[in-house]
Amino acid sequence: MKRTFFGVAAALALAASAPCAHAQSFINVLTGGTSGVYYPLGVAIGKIYGDKIPNVKTQVQATKASVENLILLQQGRGELAFTLGDSLKAAWDGEEEAGFKSKLDKLRTIGAIYPNYIQIVATAESGIKTLADLKGKSLSVGAPKSGTELNSRAILAAAGMSYKDLGKVEYLPFAESVDLMKNRQLGATLQSAGLGVASLKDLSTSSPITVVSVPKETVDQIGPPFISATIPANTYTGQDKDVPTAAVVNYLVTSSAVSDDLAYQMTKLVYESLPELQNAHAAGKEIKLETAATGSPVPLHPGAIRYYKEKGLIK
């Protein structure tokens, strides 16, 4: 009887400890609309994590991007999120006008990735060639309270305008904006994304477009985290000249609830899998390890700090 009792007890103990020894972690990657840049990069990262982190299950979630992603992280409904730098700062500061009712204090940065370029594209027949030409015309400014929409407000304000100066404002994701432009129901769209965004490539191959410049003096009016940048000639069909614009750095962000070990692996695998990210989208070519630990308005996760110390980026 004793042997039977101890045998059963040992079996129960082993069964109870087995799940702990092989506990499965879950990583939900929060991205953006499927026609943007966040989504294909997020899919690539999800696959990298699923393939290379033992006992990890991954999911990639399409969202309304920056603002929604940061709120979901704070709520514990995601482990990794893409976000624009200005949205990240607004979340950390608890800016209600930007969509944050209070400070999101659980946010921790994994690292800086590529810059988002402010890409204002109009149909050729709209006659929109400059920012001033947007007055009285229709413009899609991005999904409500998205990072793109916050960028739209900032760009217009720096140019001395607001939504009231526009003929019509549409709050639509990238692909839906382009659909309206193809149907001659919208004059222009502002899309904050990596170069070569799929929606604008689609538009430029189907109808003549004008890429509207954002002059350096307008960018300087806004100040950090906005910087002057250039959309190189031939980024889109029919765009035969460089176009000056503004850019904002994107970040990968996690939560303080994510363990140091998991955050370390998440950070390491992003910056040591850059060829896979470059294959997923052209914006991946602009992700650099050398600048990964710089500029974030939110503290780095201790797991990320450990990786950057190993690479000599942090002393």
**Which of 137-146, 161-170, 180-189 comes out lowest in average pLDDT?**
137-146
Average pLDDT of the chain to the nearest whole number: 92
Query: Considering the chain, what percentage of its residues have pLDDT values greater than 90?
Result: 83
Rounded Cα distance, 109 and 74, in Å: 13
Residue of 18, 271, 243, 228 lying closest to 129 (CA atoms): 243
pLDDT at site 23? 61
Residue 14 banded pLDDT, cuts 50, 70, 90: very low
Query: Considering the chain, what percentage of its residues have pLDDT values greater than 70?
Result: 93
Rounded Cα distance, 238 and 236, in Å: 6
Residue 6 banded pLDDT, cuts 50, 70, 90: very low
Is 60 exceeded by the pLDDT of residue 20? Answer: no
Terminal Cα distance for the chain, rounded: 62
Rounded Cα distance, 251 and 233, in Å: 26
Q: Average pLDDT in the 45-50 region?
A: 98
Is 80 exceeded by the pLDDT of residue 7? Answer: no
Domains and CATH numbers, the chain: 25-113+250-310 (3.40.190.10), 116-248 (3.40.190.10)
Tokens 């690292």 sit on residue: 111
Residue 147 banded pLDDT, cuts 50, 70, 90: confident
Put residue 51 in one of left, alpha, beta given phi > 0 → left and psi -120 to 50 → alpha. alpha
Is 80 exceeded by the pLDDT of residue 24? Answer: no
Rounded Cα distance, 89 and 260, in Å: 23
Query: Cα dist. 55→19, 25, 46, 212, 276 in Å?
Result: 11, 6, 13, 48, 21
* pTM summary value: 0.79
Long-range CB pairs of 224-230, under 8 A, 24+ apart, other chains included: 225/85, 225/86, 225/89, 225/249, 225/295, 225/297, 226/86, 226/154, 227/115, 229/115, 229/117
Residue 273 banded pLDDT, cuts 50, 70, 90: very high
pLDDT tens digit sequence for 109-128:
999 999 989 999 999 999 99
pLDDT at site 16? 41
Strand duo 107-123 + 80-84: pairing: unpaired
* Spatial contact of 29 and 79, defined as CB atoms under 8 Å apart: yes
Chain Cα centroid distance, residue 215: 24
pLDDT tens digit sequence for 206-237:
999 999 999 999 999 998 889 899 999 999 99
pLDDT at site 143? 87
